[in-house]
């Protein structure tokens, strides 16, 4: 894992966009974003148990796996959105970027590789992209039914109860 401020320069979403300014795991925690490195896959079983994640699946994002719709998918993952549930991803192969909004509404870019596990809180605005290798395999964990409909940013979603709850929590963490 490596986290840094996104540079906001033009260019493909899949290039690093590294401003050179690092973001610490402590700052991520203030945003409610949790990060773990789990080199032993059985560690994920304990985490799942502790947090009541009953189900999981594996997603591969690559042109080989997705075929023609790959480029379209990669673009759609990159639309800024939130979920009404946590987004938990445990990277099993490849790499990619999760971008999350800071307190000042700037993008923090989080580069994840194999054995990295990230938990994005419900209500945080974020987006995802593969990097220039165009390949990531991730375990997705969820409680009951997967409830990860992306709610794209906009005036209505800004006042979603899960968004409001997140902002309350974030203020408490700051
Ligand atoms: C998401 O929610 O953006 C995704 O699931 C992307 C693929 S997981 C690396
Ligand atoms: Ni998402």
86 Cβ contact list (under 8 Å, min separation 6): 119, 120, 121, 122
Query: Residue 126: is its pLDDT beyond 80?
Result: yes
Residue 43, CA distances (Å) to 35, 74, 173 in order:
13, 29, 26
User: Hey, is 120 helix, strand or coil?
Assistant: strand
Residue 173 lies in a domain: no
What is the distance between the alpha carbons of residues 103 and 92, in angstroms, rounded to a whole number?
A: 30
The count of structural domains within the chain is 1
Ligand 1 centroid to 172 CA: how many Å? 28
pLDDT digits (tens, 9 = 90+) for 62-110: 999 999 999 999 999 999 999 999 999 999 999 999 999 999 999 999 9
Q: Which ligand approaches the C-alpha of residue 129 most closely?
A: 1
Averaged over 29-57, what is the pLDDT? 94
Averaged over 11-30, what is the pLDDT? 97
Residue 23 lies in a domain: yes
Q: Which ligand approaches the C-alpha of residue 74 most closely?
A: 1
Q: What is the pTM of this model?
A: 0.96
pLDDT digits (tens, 9 = 90+) for 141-173: 998 887 778 999 999 999 999 999 999 999 999
Averaged over 8-34, what is the pLDDT? 97
Residue 174 lies in a domain: no
Q: Give the CATH number for residue 153.
A: 2.60.120.10
Looking at the CA of residue 96, tell me the nearest atom of ligand 1: 9
For residue 69, the tally of other CB atoms under 10 A from its CB is: 10
Looking at the CA of residue 126, tell me the nearest atom of ligand 1: 3
Boundaries of domain holding 94: 2-168
- pLDDT-above-90 percentage for the chain: 94
For residue 149, the tally of other CB atoms under 10 A from its CB is: 9
**CB-CB contact of 66 with 73 (8 Å):** yes
């Amino acid at each position: 894992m490596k986290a840094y401020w996104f540079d906001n320069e033009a260019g493909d979403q899949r290039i690093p966009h590294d401003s050179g300014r690092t973001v610490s795991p402590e700052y991520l925690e203030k945003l409610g974003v949790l990060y773990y490195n789990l080199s032993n896959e059985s560690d994920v079983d304990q985490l799942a148990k502790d947090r009541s994640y009953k189900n999981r699946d594996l997603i591969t994002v690559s042109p080989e796996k997705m075929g023609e719709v790959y480029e379209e998918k990669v673009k759609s993952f990159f639309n800024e959105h939130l979920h009404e549930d946590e987004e938990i991803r445990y990277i099993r192969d490849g790499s990619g970027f999760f971008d999350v909004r800071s307190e000042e509404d700037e993008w923090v870019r989080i580069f994840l590789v194999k054995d990295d596990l990230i938990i994005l809180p419900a209500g945080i605005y974020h987006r995802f992209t593969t990097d220039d290798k165009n390949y990531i395999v991730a375990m997705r964990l969820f409680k009951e039914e997967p409830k990860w409909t992306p709610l794209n940013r906009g005036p209505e979603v800004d006042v979603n109860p899960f968004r409001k709850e997140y902002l309350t929590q974030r203020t408490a963490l700051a």
